[in-house]
Amino acid sequence: MNAIAWIHMSAALVLAPLLLGVINRTKARVAGRDGAPLLQLYFDLRKLLHKGAVYSRTTTWVFRAGPLIGLAAVLGALLLTPFGKFAAPLNFDGDLILFAYWLGLMRFVTVLAALDTGSSFEGMGASREVFFSALAEPAFLLGMLGLARVTGAISLSTMLPGVTAASWLAAGPALALIAAAWLVILLAENARIPVDDPNTHLELTMIHEVMVLDHGGVDLGLILYGAALKLWVMGALLVSLLTPVRYGVAWQDALVFLGGMLLLAVGIGLIEGAMARLRLARVPQLLMGALALAVLALMLIIK
């Protein structure tokens, strides 16, 4: 069992950048373009890891520590993430709190690294990031509480695999609402359309990208890889919730999970292809909407 957990963790480490490739490819296809190769992020990472470094004269050790702690924190979250029906390498009651707070630590150090440059643009991005995530956090956690109530478990590794076809039959609408809320949070936290556009070229309108403007070389590589992992861990929670299938055969369950991740990436690509970015002032409303969905789900569950 534990060996499987570690194998899946390695799969995440290897496959996470592929998700972004799939998203971008889907988006390009929807727009009628060919798009970048599926493995583009791998090429970028390889290139970045071979570069030297340029640091702003304004920055201090905080700027240099940011990418290291950020990647370490998201790896800490990965350590707690169940893969489909398999328990995470590290799992305990209440680990979902630690999961949320590791992502919080990652955000905190990214924001501080951005402020360390002294650039107004990066300050702007940092300000938006902390505001949107403060709104997203309660919605994420309320969804977790709902799941705890449905499955009777409070560890990610028992709670998410505990969502079965039976629980969908019993509490389908509530689970669907939680999934919808989590999808919104996933898009917001990972800087996807409709909240943030990773391909925009105007610093004024960016959130996540603008915070890492001054990072380059190896540091940028660490940040991009960390972002891919963050998408993977948050996606993994959503996919586990949405695939209540259990074959009991290790490789089949793994295939279901990986297939689910692939579909999720295609889905995000379709959303990005079909929607425009929201005006920044509308984003809080979207996140409050997610919070409302989560509250509604809880009300359905408690009754």
Q: Which of the residues 60 through 89 are near other proteins (CB under 8 A)?
A: 60-62, 65, 67-69, 71-73, 75-76, 79-80
What sign results for the dihedral spanned by CA atoms 6, 81, 206, 113? Answer: negative
168 binds other proteins (CB under 8 A): no
Q: Give least dist CB 126 to other proteins, A.
A: 7
Alpha-carbon distance of 36 to 22, in angstroms, equals 10
Among 7, 14, 31, 49, the residue binding other proteins under the rule CB under 8 A is 49
Instruction: State which of positions 201-230 bind other proteins (CB under 8 A).
Output: 203, 213-214, 217-219, 222
Applying CB under 8 A, the span of 90-98, 163-171, 176-184, 243-251 interacting with other proteins comes to 90-98
- List phi, psi (to 5°) of 271: -60, -45
Closer Cβ to other proteins, 134 or 275, answer by number:
134
What would the x/- binding string for other proteins be over residues 103 to 142, using CB under 8 A? Answer: -xx-xx--xx--xxxxxxxxxx-xxx-xx-xxxxxx-xxx
37 binds other proteins (CB under 8 A): no
Closer Cβ to other proteins, 42 or 131, answer by number:
131
Tokens of 26: 């889907």
Closer Cβ to other proteins, 126 or 183, answer by number:
126
Helix (H) or strand (E) holding 170: helix 165-189
What is the residue-wise DSSP string for 58-94? T--HHHHHHHHHHHHHHHHHHHH--BTTBPPSS--TT
- Residue in the structure block whose two tokens are 């790896």: 75
What is the residue-wise DSSP string for 87-102? PPSS--TTHHHHHHHH
Please, how many CA atoms are within 13 Å of residue 42, restricted to the half-sphere of its CB? Answer: 11
36 binds other proteins (CB under 8 A): no
Q: What 3-state class would DSSP assign to 118?
A: coil
Q: Give least dist CB 51 to other proteins, A.
A: 7
245 binds other proteins (CB under 8 A): no
